[in-house]
Chain A
Amino acid sequence: MRAIEVRTLMRLLIGTAALIQAVDMAILFHVVFDEGKLRLPLYDWLPVLPGALMPVYFGIWLLSAIAFATGLQMRLAGVLLVFSMMYAIFVDQQTYSNHVYLLVIVMLLLMLPGSLPLTLLRWQMSIVYFFAAVSKINIIYISGLIVAGNLQHGWLLQLPDPLFRWEAMLPIAVGSICLELFLAVAFWIPRYRPVAFRIGVAFHLAIVLFFPFNAVLQLIVFALTMDSLYLLFLDPVVVEGRVPAVIERARNRLAVPARP
């Protein structure tokens, strides 16, 4: 798989993620900036947009996401998206999102030419998994409290009640830390790459299915973003040997001729 094809596929996934994120953020803005609610600005100099401008703001975000995904005026769309998402991150502590922050970084690197940004994107994937895992090494997470709190309110699939005991939650919590550490490392080792790809996709799918409804859109965005980074590690043998039909169709439709 040539670098240019990876960029095209990634752009499609990242643009789609940004589109879904726009919908999620619009809902969140509506709730957070509701009259009478407490506002927690990160920076006092950054104002909340007046209500009349909100449709314009989200309109720009939505249209830019579509343009970015389809490759139409990609640079302009990317810049508009980055500014739109950075505004959401900084305007209030309640609208900050790690997933949006990740989208901004991926989008910025994806817009830069050359192979260095693609290398940095590979590092980015490992950095996210590594710090996600290491930061969970604390008594509150390992006790299973956070895992249980989320699994108890799963929107689609719920674990049976007898499982909500620390004896069951603790192994799930520790297992999730090990899994994230594995994903941080395994993609760099060719022998483990195919299994890391499958485990990673299954991991994000499970989170989407088992976690509460109010986080679903954000978790889909995160899954799309991280899975798009997996593409940077796949070599043609893995791609053609394991998922030939889907990837080949996407490659044929989306491939842009490489520059000489």
Chain B
Amino acid sequence: MFRHHRLKLSVPTLLIAIFLVVQIAVPTAALGLPRPARFSWQMYAGVRTTSEFVAVQGDGSEREIDPSDYLGNPRLDIDLADVLPGFVCETEPTVVFIRAEDQLSDEVVEYPCAP
């Protein structure tokens, strides 16, 4: 006689499995990403953007960029270097490039605006 062994996936087992994956695996994996990451309980755990941004006009004049002029809620988990230069270039045609000055490493990165 052969018995059929089937894995019984009960509702409680499934619930625990989903819970463990979402609540333990996701935050654990996120510890290896830049902080703070979403869905990982990283409240006030860091800042994704440590740079200050400067808009440089065609005539050479410069203006410091306040992120909240362009974003309603520049959260700490948003990497502003990814999104801010492109948007400033798009909305202000006189800007020729954006300079990002990292306040921790002193590294300077320039983001040229497309002509």
Q: Which residues from chain A sit less than 8 Å from chain B, CB to CB?
A: 28, 31-34, 36-38, 40, 93-96, 98, 101, 105, 112, 114, 116-117, 120, 123-124, 127-128, 130-132, 134-136, 138, 140-141, 145-147, 150, 222
Contact = CB atoms under 8 A, between A and B. Distances in A.
Contacts of B74: 94
Given A120-B16, A120-B19, A94 B42 contact: no
Contact of A128 (B38, B41, B72, B77): B41
A41 B35 CA distance: 19
Interface residues of B, number: 36
Contacts, number: 101
B15 A141 contact: no
B36 A135 contact: yes
Contacts of B12: 114, 116
A138 B73 contact: no
Contacts of B87: 38
A140 B78 contact: no
Given A94-B78, A120-B16, A135-B27, 9 more contacts: A37-B72, A38-B71, A38-B87, A94-B74, A117-B15, A124-B23, A127-B27, A134-B31, A140-B50
A136 B42 CA distance: 7
A96 B87 CA distance: 20
A120 B74 CA distance: 33
Contact of A31 (B19, B39, B73, B77): B73
B41 A131 contact: yes
Contact of A138 (B46, B70, B71, B84): B46
A89 B101 CA distance: 31
Contact of A28 (B15, B41, B72): B72
A116 B45 contact: no
